[in-house]
Amino acid sequence: MTAAPRITVRSLSLGYGGRPVVEHLDWNITPGSLTAIIGANGSGKSTLLRAVAGELRPLAGTIDGLDGIRTSYLPQDAGIDRSFPISVADFSAMGLWRKVGAFGRIGRHWSGETERALGLVGLSGASRRPIAALSGGEFQRVLFARLILEDADLILLDEPFAAVDRETTADLVGLVRQWAAEGRTVVVALHDLDQVRQHFPETLRLAARRGVQGATAQILSVLGPAPVPTVPATMLRGGAVA
Amino acid sequence: MHDLLIAPFADYAFMRKALIGAIAVALGAAPIGAFLILRRMSLTGDAIGHGILPGAAVGYLLAGLSLTAMTVGGLVAGMAVALGAAAVSRRTAQREDASLAAFTIISLAAGVMLVSLRGSNLDLLHFLFGSVLALPDDALVLLAGIATVTLVAFALLFRLFVADALDPSFLRRLAPRSGLVHYAFLALAVLNLIAGFHALGTLMAVGIMILPAAAARFWARSVGAVVVVAVAIAVASCVTGLLLAFHLDLQPSATMILCSGVAYVASLLVGREGSIATRRRLPSAVPA
């Protein structure tokens, strides 16, 4: 890790084919903060994360503070072929790419680091299993092991708990909080408002192409008394999970 | 035994050359095929394989049965199809399988028409089924050279090839210039299909690339193992096919590909990984 970054978003407009999903967004991400992005389906949560990850060029506006820092990004659907013939350890070790590169040797030290990361996600002893043999929750744990090995300053996660069971969610939320405690900046798109309330001090709420940023309690209080949110789409999703 | 397995190669120079040429093609094509399958690009391989034909035919029209002219023509046309098919699926609403099928059949028709403008039916057969039993020395050097370049590239770039096949968007984020890896891979695929074209003909070249790799997928748990098993099956099919063709007087390239086909069918029936045999043993496949 290098110094934790301050990231400044100014008058950012994002969209596809010239049609904006997010417009004139101002957003400050303080170093070492733990932020949730909430909003209805289609409000631009994923779009915003993609833009910060550098995978989507803004229609207008700027995102400053990304130069020289390590960013890792976990899309909601990484599109990985789960039948690919590769072991859990070899898959996770992709996270070492910045350190080992295309040609460096993955020697004893890095194998040890990989084992350690798999232990942290609760998969010690699984390193030789093929990824095809994993359940959905176990595979999400492997993706988190890869994130650990990436050792990034800014970590962007898009609905990382959407398709995993309660126990896996609890373990992975623990890791997310651990990352923030280590001084990394973490931004997570979520639809479960109870999770947001419990674990995320900062919130950015996207609605009607605009964004509102603030302390989670404050942002959620605008939405109505806990635990029933008043925004219809989020109520549906949040209610289903709670 | 000696008469069956050794004598054909000991007694006939054309059989020795055919053996060298076929093994060279197998060594390069099988690893490429393994990655085409892992990337779910076997249809792309097919399209490129046929895409070579009109290019080689133009070379033939300009310079006759010249190795250089047909190779350069095939290289240009093969790369055009490789890049063109991807661009078409990116820029149109149609899915890639449709554009690949279109490219495949257009190339085949154009190639056959171009060759028949000038050539005899014998030349056409040479284009479609190769001439492994009449490989000239310069062709052997070309095939061996392509195999060497391919194996060296795989040794150097293996981790990049794996990462690019497994999670390309992840690799792009960590190594922005890694997009070049995809083009390097496509170029190697085109080169190997040209080698296959010279030895096995345009109709059979894709076979030695895809069939052994598809078979290997039923035996191996790691990418490295898939590549090794695919090469072993490809080489064994070439040797077996050549011997069968010699003793039984069969068309050699089709016989070699059929040997790979037998390996493929056997593998999908009884292989260790995801074959019909293993699926039957899984509880999920048991009717409720």
What are the tokens at A134? 């994993």
| B contacts of A91 (beta carbons < 8 Å) | 166
In this predicted structure, what is the pLDDT of residue A242? 35
| A contacts of B37 (beta carbons < 8 Å) | none
In this predicted structure, what is the pLDDT of residue B282? 61
Phi, psi of A154, rounded to the nearest 5 degrees? -125, 125
In this predicted structure, what is the pLDDT of residue B285? 44
Q: How far is CA A217 from CA A188, A239, B131, in A?
A: 17, 18, 77
Is B166–A79 a contact, with Cβ atoms under 8 angstroms apart? no
**Residues B121, B105: Cα–Cα separation, whole Å:** 20
> What pLDDT digit, counting tens, does each position of A18-29 carry?
789 999 999 999
For B35, nearest residue in chain A (alpha carbons): A84
A215 confidence band (pLDDT: 50, 70, 90)? very high
Best B162, B170, B227, B272 member to test A by mutation, with max A CBs in 10 Å, is: B170
In this predicted structure, what is the pLDDT of residue B176? 85
Q: How far is CA A5 from CA A65, A67, B44, in A?
A: 6, 9, 43
In this predicted structure, what is the pLDDT of residue A236? 47
In this predicted structure, what is the pLDDT of residue A104? 84
What residues does A185 pair with on adjacent strands? A154
The answer to whether A175 and A9 are in contact (CB under 8 A) is no
Q: State the distance between the two ends of chain A, measured CA to CA, in whole angstroms.
A: 35
Is A102–B217 a contact, with Cβ atoms under 8 angstroms apart? no
| B contacts of A96 (beta carbons < 8 Å) | none
Shortest CB distance from A94 goes to which of B170, B226, B273? B170
For A52, nearest residue in chain B (alpha carbons): B173
- Those residues of chain B whose CB sits closer than 8 Å to some CB in chain A are 38, 40, 156-157, 159-160, 162-163, 165-167, 169-171, 173-175, 178, 217, 220-223, 225-226, 273-274
Max intra-chain CA distance, chain A: 55
Identify which of A54, A57, A65, A59 has the alpha carbon closest to the alpha carbon of residue A9. Answer: A65
Best B36, B156, B166 member to test A by mutation, with max A CBs in 10 Å, is: B166
pLDDT surpasses 70 at A198: yes
Per-residue pLDDT of chain B (288 residues; tens, 9 = 90+): 788 899 999 999 999 999 999 999 999 999 999 999 999 999 999 999 999 999 999 999 999 888 999 999 999 999 999 998 878 877 887 788 888 899 999 999 999 999 988 878 888 888 899 989 999 999 999 999 999 999 999 999 999 999 999 999 999 988 888 889 999 999 999 999 999 999 999 989 999 999 999 999 999 999 999 999 999 999 999 999 999 999 999 999 999 999 999 999 999 999 998 899 888 776 554 444
In this predicted structure, what is the pLDDT of residue A117? 97
A49 confidence band (pLDDT: 50, 70, 90)? very high
The answer to whether A74 and A176 are in contact (CB under 8 A) is no
Inter-chain CB pairs, A–B, below 8 Å: 60
| B contacts of A80 (beta carbons < 8 Å) | 166-167
Q: How far is CA B145 from CA A32, B26, B138, B253, B255, in A?
A: 54, 13, 10, 21, 25
pTM, to two decimals: 0.89
Helix (H) or strand (E) holding A27, with range, is strand A19-29
Distance from CA of B219 to the nearest CA of A (A): 10
In this predicted structure, what is the pLDDT of residue A240? 41
Q: Determine how many CB atoms are found less than 10 A away from the CB of residue A48.
A: 28
Instruction: Answer whether the bond into residue A58 is a cis peptide, omega within 30°.
Output: no
Neighbouring residues of A35: CB distance < 8 A, sequence distance ≥ 6: A29, A186, A187, A188, A200, A201, A202, A203, A204
> What pLDDT digit, counting tens, does each position of A107-140 carry?
888 999 999 999 999 999 999 999 999 999 999 9
Is B174–A73 a contact, with Cβ atoms under 8 angstroms apart? no
In this predicted structure, what is the pLDDT of residue B71? 95
Burial of B205 (0-12, 13-18, 19+ CB in 10 A): buried
The answer to whether A48 and A36 are in contact (CB under 8 A) is no
CA torsion B223-B226-B232-B237 (nearest 10°) is -140
Identify which of B76, B23, B86, B28 has the alpha carbon closest to the alpha carbon of residue B53. Answer: B76
Collapsed DSSP state (helix, strand, coil) of residue B131: coil
Is A78–B163 a contact, with Cβ atoms under 8 angstroms apart? no
In this predicted structure, what is the pLDDT of residue A68? 87
In this predicted structure, what is the pLDDT of residue A224? 61
| A contacts of B226 (beta carbons < 8 Å) | 85
Percent of chain A with pLDDT over 70: 90
Max intra-chain CA distance, chain B: 66
What are the tokens at A139? 């595979």
| A contacts of B157 (beta carbons < 8 Å) | 102
Is A78–B167 a contact, with Cβ atoms under 8 angstroms apart? yes
What are the tokens at A225? 């008394």
> What pLDDT digit, counting tens, does each position of A216-240 carry?
999 998 776 555 444 554 444 444 4
- Rg of the Cα atoms in chain A: 18
What ipTM was assigned to the predicted interfaces of this complex? 0.87
In this predicted structure, what is the pLDDT of residue B72? 96
Is B173–A98 a contact, with Cβ atoms under 8 angstroms apart? no
Is B163–A75 a contact, with Cβ atoms under 8 angstroms apart? no
Neighbouring residues of B134: CB distance < 8 A, sequence distance ≥ 6: B14
